[in-house]
Amino acid sequence: MARLTLFSRYLPRSCPRQVSAARRYATASSTPDGASQQRLDNHVKLVEVGARDGLQNEKKSIPLATKIDLIERLAKTGLSSIEAGAFVSPKWVPQMNNSGEILEHILQHDIPSRSPLTFSFLAPNLKGLDSASAILAKHPTAFETETQRLASAAAEGSSGPHKPALEIAVFAAATESFSQKNLNCSVATSLERFGEVIRAAKDADLRVRAYISVVLGCPFEGYDVNPHRVAEIATDFLEMGADEIALGDTTGMGTAPRTKDLLNCLRKAGIRNEDIAMHFHNTYGQALVNTVVALEHGIRTFDSSVGGLGGCPYSPGASGNVATEDMVYFLESLGMDTGVDLDAVADIGAWITNEVGKPHDSSVGKAVLAARLRTKEEGKAGEA
């Protein structure tokens, strides 16, 4: 395993309060015998969120064909988890309005990929889950349930074509102000609704991801987000049956010391690293530094967005998620294995940012493409 010592001398502040140690939950990341499935070695799982988080704020309607093309291109790069859409109110997020057609497409076509795929869709309430479930019901054998996905993953040498697995994602906030703006309700009300969604999704044997937004800074309440509140919400989600907690640094306000503090708080609350994913936005350019902190802590699942697509409607000037290209290059330079083809992702980043008319926001992506062009030109000059 790669040795990461950059922040090993950093001493976190003490965590003054813990959530009840008596709380109990078992997530689907546990095998029946209790052994953790996640390999805490040098493998890092990247969750590609460009097609949902990356595109949801675009004002101009992006054609369905472009979204499907993006998802299919990403699937060929070695990325195994792809967030593909959101069953949210079209009045709130019009760009996600054709998520049902995207799900239909995924279920009706064999999407070529290097590894078994999981596609994730957001659902803010039972109405959203019902819309997704109605489509799944039309194609009951076209996808793997969570039980089937775990069995396939456990099967030695399982190769050949795989049906995709489906995941439902719910999303609460760590602050009341953000919850009101994003979900039009309090955190407590949102958790009640998400409890219903999670129960129904688990009854349908679907994997559930639970986001908590603004964990390291809120556009309305500032930097001082209470890490204990984050730990409480994460614990609530796990008790409801969520399989994974995705910690959203929505505004990119997170810093290395506060990332460390937050993760220590979650650890003291009994939340396991293998149940946590980090979702960093790069607005302040801190995403890779915070990634090192999380890696040192033992986290091995990170979200990213091809080309650095994205933004936050409530954070003026917010840039997108950390770019997938930057994450692949950075993680592999540390000796970690992502399984993702950097060249292929760099091509997709250039293509989709051009399609959407956004600046290409991946330093690594641009550098890879420039280096490739230079090599080609030198080759031509050599031949002449």
Ligand X SMILES: CC(C)(COP(=O)([O-])OP(=O)([O-])OC[C@H]1O[C@@H](n2cnc3c(N)ncnc32)[C@H](O)[C@@H]1OP(=O)([O-])[O-])[C@@H](O)C(=O)NCCC(=O)NCCSC(=O)C[C@@](C)(O)CC(=O)[O-]
Secondary structure (DSSP) of 235-264? HHHHHHT-SEEEEEETTS---HHHHHHHHH
**314 sits near ligand X (criterion: CB under 6 A):** no
Output the CA torsion sign for 327, 45, 218, 267.
negative
Q: How far, in Å, CA of 188 to CA of 89, rounded?
A: 20
CB 340 to ligand X: min, Å: 20
**171 sits near ligand X (criterion: CB under 6 A):** yes
Where is 330: in which H helix or E strand?
helix 324-333
**213 sits near ligand X (criterion: CB under 6 A):** yes
**283 sits near ligand X (criterion: CB under 6 A):** no
| Radius of gyration of the chain measured on its C-alpha atoms | 20
Q: How far, in Å, CA of 183 to CA of 98, rounded?
A: 20
Within 342-381, which residues bind ligand X (CB under 6 A)? Answer: none
**93 sits near ligand X (criterion: CB under 6 A):** yes
| Residues contacting 37, CB < 8 A, separation 6+ | 29, 30, 31, 150, 153, 154, 274
**86 sits near ligand X (criterion: CB under 6 A):** yes
CB 165 to ligand X: min, Å: 19
Within 125-144, which residues bind ligand X (CB under 6 A)? Answer: 125, 127-128, 131
**53 sits near ligand X (criterion: CB under 6 A):** yes
Q: How far, in Å, CA of 37 to CA of 28, rounded?
A: 9
**252 sits near ligand X (criterion: CB under 6 A):** no
CB 20 to ligand X: min, Å: 26
**103 sits near ligand X (criterion: CB under 6 A):** no
The footprint of ligand X on this chain (CB under 6 A) covers a number of residues equal to 24
Backbone angle region of 324, left / alpha / beta, with phi > 0 → left and psi within -120 to 50 → alpha: alpha
Q: Which two tokens stand for residue 55?
A: 């595109």
Nearer to ligand X, 18 or 131 (CB): 131
Shortest-Cβ-distance residue relative to ligand X: 248
| Among residues 81, 250, 282, 315, the one that binds ligand X under rule CB under 6 A | 250
| Among residues 7, 25, 92, 351, the one that binds ligand X under rule CB under 6 A | 92
CB 151 to ligand X: min, Å: 29
Which of 322, 277, 320 has its CA nearest to residue 304?
A: 322
| Among residues 18, 29, 36, 89, the one that binds ligand X under rule CB under 6 A | 89
For the annotated catalytic residues, the residue numbers are 312
| Among residues 279, 358, 360, 366, the one that binds ligand X under rule CB under 6 A | 279
Residue environment code for 143-176, b if the CB has 16+ CB neighbours within 10 A, otherwise e: bbbbeebbeeeeeeeeeeebbbbbbbbbbbbbbb
CB 36 to ligand X: min, Å: 25
Residues that bind ligand X (CB under 6 A): 53, 56, 86-89, 91-93, 122, 124-125, 127-128, 131, 171, 182-184, 211, 213, 248, 250, 279
